[in-house]
Homo-oligomer: A and B are copies of this chain.
């Protein structure tokens, strides 16, 4: 399951379906599918610097001199990195963890890639922005990253919680409302 989750574009639910399918398939079918997956895997490269899927190493993001190399955004997966890039608001670099902490899937602290992250964060990074998901696993991962990477001179931050843009209060869950209230901001009469 853990390994399936780390395939590009494969979320947790799809991985579960795939795992179920594999478990039920005849042995020769399962072997053929596994071989096909291995071939695809061999064609996709990983950037050694950010661990994102890439067609070259370093990837285009890591190699871009216009990006701020003092900012390092930590995400759970290549899909999360893609969402962050699509938002178009971030101009720093990335580090892709091997998913989130999930003991039942065999992803413990040793499997996340914290050693590699610690080395990477020592290379001129002034702020580490933890952008793991706001799920239970993502929060546990954020806690662990913050604890493991803490050192003087490194600012560690976490994406803000609150109302999604376009959200209607009456359809937003209570935990999110509570966070939005907690993270309320002073509003100046002129600006936003």
Which among B134, B139, B146, B172 is the interface contact of A189 at CB below 8 angstroms? Answer: B146
Give the complex CA separation of A88 and B89 in angstroms: 33
The CA-CA distance from A187 to B158 in the complex, in Å, is 6
Shortest beta-carbon distance, A185 to chain B, in Å? 6
Q: Considering the complex, which residues of chain A in the window 32-53 have a beta carbon less than 8 Å from any beta carbon of chain B?
A: none
- Tell me whether A170 and B129 are in contact (CB under 8 A): no
**Are A160 and B146 in contact, CB atoms less than 8 angstroms apart?**
no
A171 to B185, CA, bound (A): 25
**Cβ of A162 and Cβ of B186 under 8 Å apart?**
no
Residue on B with the closest CB to A129?
Answer: B184
Cβ of A23 within 8 Å of any chain B Cβ, yes or no, is: no
Does any Cβ of B come within 8 Å of A75's Cβ?
yes
Tell me whether A178 and B87 are in contact in the complex, defined as CB-CB below 8 angstroms, given that A160-B184, A162-B162, A170-B11 are known contacts.
Answer: yes
CB-CB under 8 A from A146, the residues of chain B are 187-189
- A169's partner among B84, B156, B183, B185 (CB-CB below 8 A) is B84
Copies of this protein, total: 2
Check A178–B88 contact: CB distance below 8 A: yes
* Selected A-B contacts with CB under 8 Å, 16 pairs: A11-B168, A79-B170, A86-B174, A87-B181, A129-B184, A134-B163, A134-B164, A134-B167, A146-B189, A157-B187, A159-B162, A160-B161, A160-B179, A160-B180, A161-B162, A164-B176
Give the B-binding residues of A (Cβ under 8 A). Answer: 11, 75-77, 79-80, 82-84, 86-90, 129-135, 138-139, 142-143, 146-147, 150, 155-190, 192
Q: Ordered nearest first, which 3 A-B pairs have the shortest CB separation?
A: A160-B183, A160-B162, A89-B178
